[in-house]
């Protein structure tokens, strides 16, 4: 199907209907999801999807519509509904579609092996994920879930401001949840990884990390409440960064829902902290040549040596705040308009290995899992979450601990960081190394 020709026809018809600006977004995707239980396929989902959306600006009013049918009648209706919806929305002088600006950098986000590998081989990879976890230690008694996902997507984006773009991408992921049991005690743990490239999805690391976490927590003890130095494992640090992510959105700033509103230029974090949003890293799941409205994706420093440097924008927020778009107009698919979102957001790694962070603490806690992070307030920054981990004594992990809780404010926590690890790891689009906190209040027995 000639999507460029079809899109040109839609653009012309919508403009003939009175639209001042028009955008056509086409998404084609195919995916496979496999879940294994006891060596057998427990769940298998294969799906193909196609969709097209039209966004129009008419007298500063935004209209939007989408369809999954590409026949002429459906496309004519698509145009009609987009134009009609614009007449039912409020006029906003900041509405508008981006023009062709800047250059588009090359980024490698497509791996033909994801598409060409047979279903049987993908099933076998899911089996290996389960087998490796089960074989990690005899105390691993159950694998609650072992799943892999593979997808291929293709995007076309055209607008009346001369944007004409196309890209293909792939994605694959693996996740597992295991149970370790010993002497009547059970501990559960998980791990997850994703990548654009088939061979870079390290299922061995995923399986063994989950197994190690579960086994290591056997025999966990309660501790008394205290104040002590704390190390956040990279997965936990990523979760805290995830809560903070929305505060970097210019949309949140404009809606007074950001911790960082009016804080540009202020030093709110430890000087050891650099936070970057970089959508140009080969193979990363948040990488792309262009964002959901055709703006070139970029690398942006959001925090430098603790200082807030800026916010993430789509075309609308950039125009409203009189700043340049940052390539962060993200779509969840063809069924929605672009909102402000992240590409690959991460805390830049430091120079200290995790072992060195641990050996630098005489008495403290190494937190390997936080429970209830979804309850943290992204607007106030306040949090109170359960945690498990290890008691550090004399620079060594002494014994596992359970039923502890940590509470505070995210900005205060990031301000108290006095060492940054070298073990940067991504969980989806968010990544962090391990972080050492100078002191944190810990609630125990």
For 234, phi then psi, to 5°, come to: -60, -30
DSSP 277-292: EES--TT-TT--SB-T
The DSSP bridge pattern shows strands 430-432 and 345-347 to be: parallel
Residue 17 vs residues 23, 58, 94: alpha-carbon distances, Å: 14, 10, 22
User: Can you tell me whether residue 182 is helix, strand or coil?
Assistant: strand
The pairing of strands 307-308 and 21-37 is unpaired
Closest residue by Cα to residue 6 from 70, 77, 80: 70
Task: Kindly state the tokens that stand for 87.
Answer: 């007449």
N- to C-terminal Cα distance for the chain?
A: 65
Q: What's the pLDDT at 100?
A: 86
Tokens in use for 235?
């997965």
What is the predicted pLDDT for the residue at 190? 94
The SS3 of residue 318 is helix
Q: Which residues of the chain carry a pLDDT beneath 50?
A: none
Rounded CA-CA distance 180/374 in Å is 25
- Other CB atoms within 10 Å distance of the CB of residue 150: 25
Q: Which two tokens stand for residue 220?
A: 């966990």
Region of residue 88 (phi > 0: left; psi between -120 and 50: alpha; otherwise: beta): alpha
CA separation for the pair 363, 360 (Å, rounded): 9
Joined tokens for residue 258:
């950001």
The fold for domain 3-214 equals PmbA/TldD fold (3.30.2290)
Per-domain residue ranges of the chain? 3-214, 220-445
Question: Residue for token digits 């994703």?
Answer: 194
**Residue 393 corresponds to which tokens in the numbers above?**
């004594």
Question: Is 277 within 8 Å of 343 (Cβ atoms)?
Answer: yes
Beta-carbon neighbour count of residue 222 at 10 Å?
10
CA-to-CA separations, 404 to 64, 243, 347, 385, 445, in angstroms, rounded? 48, 20, 26, 9, 8
Nearest C-alpha neighbor of 220 from the set 434, 362, 355, 387 = 387
pLDDT at 335: 96
Contact partners, residue 16, CB within 8 Å, separation at least 6: none
What are the tokens at 281? 């890293």
Report how far residue 125's alpha carbon sits from residue 416's, in angstroms, rounded to the nearest whole number: 42
b/e map 245-259, b = 16+ CB within 10 Å? bbbbbbbbbbeeebb
By C-alpha distance, which of 342, 329, 341 is closest to 55?
Answer: 329
Q: How far apart are CA 362 and CA 365, in angstroms?
A: 10
Backbone phi and psi for residue 241, each to the nearest 5 degrees, phi listed first = -65, -35
**85-114: pLDDT as tens digits:** 998 899 999 999 999 887 899 999 999 999
Q: How far apart are alpha carbons 23 and 10 in whole angstroms?
A: 9
pLDDT attached to residue 101: 80
Q: pLDDT digit string (tens) for 68-77?
A: 999 999 999 9
Residue 213's alpha-carbon distances to 130, 177, 388, in angstroms, are 15, 10, 10
């Amino acid at each position: 199907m000639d999507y460029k020709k079809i899109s040109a026809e839609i653009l012309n018809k919508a403009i003939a209907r009175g639209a001042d600006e028009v955008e056509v977004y086409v998404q084609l995707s195919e995916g496979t999801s496999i879940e294994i239980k006891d060596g057998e396929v427990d769940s298998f989902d294969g799906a193909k999807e196609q969709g097209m959306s039209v966004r129009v600006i008419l007298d500063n009013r935004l209209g939007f519509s989408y369809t999954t049918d590409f026949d002429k009648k459906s496309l004519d209706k698509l145009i009609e509904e987009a134009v009609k919806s614009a007449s039912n929305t409020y006029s906003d002088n900041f509405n508008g579609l981006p023009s062709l600006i800047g250059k588009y950098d090359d980024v490698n986000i497509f791996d033909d092996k994801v598409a060409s590998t047979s279903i049987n081989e993908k099933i076998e990879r899911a089996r290996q994920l389960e087998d490796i976890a089960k074989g990690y230690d005899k105390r691993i008694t159950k694998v609650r879930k072992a799943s892999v996902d593979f997808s291929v997507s293709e995007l076309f984006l055209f607008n009346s401001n001369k944007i004409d773009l196309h890209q293909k991408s792939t994605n694959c992921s693996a996740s597992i949840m295991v149970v370790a049991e010993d002497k009547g005690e059970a501990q559960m743990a998980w791990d997850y990884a994703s990548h654009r490239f088939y061979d870079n999805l390290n299922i061995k690391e995923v399986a063994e990390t989950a197994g190690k976490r579960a086994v290591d927590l056997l025999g966990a003890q309660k501790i008394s409440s205290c104040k002590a130095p704390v190390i956040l494992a990279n997965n936990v640090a990523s979760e805290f960064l995830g809560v903070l992510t929305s505060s970097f959105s210019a949309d949140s700033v404009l809606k007074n829902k950001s911790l960082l509103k009016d804080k540009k230029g202020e030093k709110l974090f430890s000087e050891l902290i650099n936070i970057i949003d970089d959508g140009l890293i080969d193979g990363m799941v948040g990488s792309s040549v262009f964002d959901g409205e055709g703006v070139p994706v970029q690398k942006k420093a959001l925090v430098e040596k603790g200082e807030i440097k800026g916010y993430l924008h789509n075309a609308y927020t950039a125009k409203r705040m009189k700043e340049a778009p940052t390539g962060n107009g993200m779509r969840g698919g063809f069924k929605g308009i672009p909102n402000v979102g992240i590409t690959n957001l991460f805390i830049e790694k430091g120079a200290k290995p995790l072992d060195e962070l641990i050996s630098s603490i005489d008495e403290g806690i190494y937190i390997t899992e936080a429970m209830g992070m979804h309850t943290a307030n992204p607007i106030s920054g306040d949090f109170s979450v359960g945690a498990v981990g290890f008691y550090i004594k004399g620079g060594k992990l002494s014994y596992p601990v359970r039923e502890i809780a940590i509470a505070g404010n995210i900005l205060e926590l990031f301000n108290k960081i006095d060492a940054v690890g070298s073990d940067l790891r991504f969980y989806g689009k968010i990544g962090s190394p391990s972080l050492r906190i100078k002191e944190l209040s810990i609630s125990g027995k």
